[in-house]
Amino acid sequence: MKIGATLNYTPLDHAARWFGRFLPKGLYARALIIIIAPVILLQSVVAYVFMERHYELVTRRLSSAVTADIAALIDIYESYPQDRNTTTLSRIASERLQLDVDILRNTDLPPPGPKPFFDILDETLSNELRRQIDRPYWIDTVGRSSYVEVRVKLDQNDVMRILARRSQAYASNSHIFLVWMGGSSFVLLGIAILFLRNQIRPILRLAEAAEALGKGREIDFRPRGAREVRQAGHAFLEMKRRIERNMEQRTTMLNGVSHDLRTILTRFKLSLVFLDQTPEVEDLKRDVDEMSRMLEGYLAFARGEGGDAGEQAIATDLRQLLEEVQSDAERQGHVTELDIVGDPIITVRPDAFRRLLFNLVGNAARHGDRIEITANHETRWLVLHVDDDGPGIPPEMREEVFKPFVRLDEARNQDEGGSGLGLAIARDVARSHGGDIVLGESPLGGLRATVRLPA
């Protein structure tokens, strides 16, 4: 297939995609469906086969037996006319056949009554009466819940009325089988769900531990569950140890490098102090100071996460941090407004998050005169906006400025002392907390930096 060619979806693919929108997304819910769906399907098939085959067959045989008894009673009545008061016939029907028989003289069959909704008995008994007796008849399976009444037209305008217990013509105890089948299924499903929850819980703990690692938080995690889940847990712990070991080695190396470089810069500064303070020496001092600032920025970026890679996340007062940033901006002569909505306590690495705030507010202070800081922590996410009234950044360059060492000369006034790492470090800190930073249009006319962190 050529690159860029459109995919041809069949109607089955479209149906699967449409049906997939309604399926749950969680592993626990999907596993429940995998367990419950086959059980329901199996029970439905068993119930259908039972109702269609066994239940209907038993009902048909019972109805056939009752109809045969009725046919025998009609034959006895017509073969022995000397028993006109039907005393003997009623006794035989009651004692031997458990039927109540009565002869209605000079009457006719009642009009047909309403058909029941579940008419398997009505239909089966009617078929047997037509097949074995072949006389005009009338049946009532609804009027009396425990009995079935059958009337058969005889000769000379007589009608034989027969009352039979419903259990004689109908498999009335079949619901017991369905109740046992459904009850046992619910018990087995309950046991399966309990075991399934125990199998899903270690996976959720592993996901929580991985998320906590991405946010720089510590969580007590021990591999549990099935063998494959424990293997994944041990692999995660080994990966965590390798990451921590690499971070420790990197921090040690950078501390050594920064110590050596700072020593050399300190020597330069001391040497310049003992020289005559000429304009050339002043220029050298500014260059050394600029080198010191750039060195700090490079080292902070190289360490990652704002230079606080080993710091632990703790509950921190957001209001206090923002008030420090506001005071710093106001000391530089910028009008700074602060608004905090919701819970001011967040869980972050304080030093790293402080660096993020100072970088964003410092960036706004370099290019604007007015700054607005708004924070909203009413949900499980912290959303923080830093707005300025500066020249802004073109939309096509808003992702470019997050790259290291990128400075925009035309879109915003270049800070001669900057290293192009402020926004890169700020985004690195935000992402190390599980969030991100995006740039957009500010209501003040300049740039808006939006920080979104899970807190």
| pLDDT higher than 80, residue 342 | yes
Domain that holds residue 268: 222-307
Look up the CATH number of the domain holding residue 371: 3.30.565.10
Q: Which domain-ending residue is among 307, 340, 374?
A: 307
Q: How many residues does the chain have?
A: 455
Band (pLDDT 50/70/90 cuts) for residue 387 is very high
Question: Would the pLDDT of 265 be above 70?
Answer: yes
Same domain, 160 and 243: no
pLDDT confidence band for 173 (50 / 70 / 90): low
Q: Do 239 and 337 fall within a single domain?
A: no
Same domain, residue pair 335 and 382:
yes
Distance CA 89, CA 102 (A): 9
Residue 198 and residue 110 share a domain: yes
Q: How far apart are CA 292 and CA 300, in angstroms?
A: 12
Residue 142 sits in the same domain as residue 72: yes
Any domain includes 8:
no
Mean pLDDT score, 248-264: 75
Average pLDDT over residues 84-94: 81
Q: What is the DSSP letter of 308?
A: -
Number of domains in the chain: 3
> Do 319 and 226 share a structural domain?
no
**Same domain, yes or no: 188 and 59:** yes
Q: Could you give the 3-state DSSP secondary structure of residue 382? A: strand
Residue 372 confidence (pLDDT) above 90: yes
For residue 427, what are its two tokens?
A: 């985004």
Is 172 in the same domain as 112?
A: yes
Domain-ending residue, one of 307, 333, 366:
307
* 445 belongs to a structural domain: yes
Buried b (16+ CB within 10 A) or exposed e, 245-265: eeeeeebeebeeebeeeeeee
Give the CATH number, domain containing residue 297: 1.10.287.130
Torsion of CA 239, 242, 244, 249, to 10 degrees: -160
What's the gap between Cα 337 and its chain centre?
A: 40
Instruction: Tell which of 215, 232, 262 closes a domain.
Output: 215
Question: Do the beta carbons of residue 214 and residue 434 sit within 8 Å?
Answer: yes
Residues 444 and 371 in one domain: yes
As to burial, measured by CB atoms within 10 angstroms (0-12 exposed, 13-18 middle, 19+ buried), residue 269 is: middle
Is residue 122 domain-shared with residue 172, that is, in the same domain? yes
Q: Is residue 181 located within the same domain as residue 260? A: no
Same domain? 338 vs 297 = no
Mean pLDDT over 109-118 rounds to 73
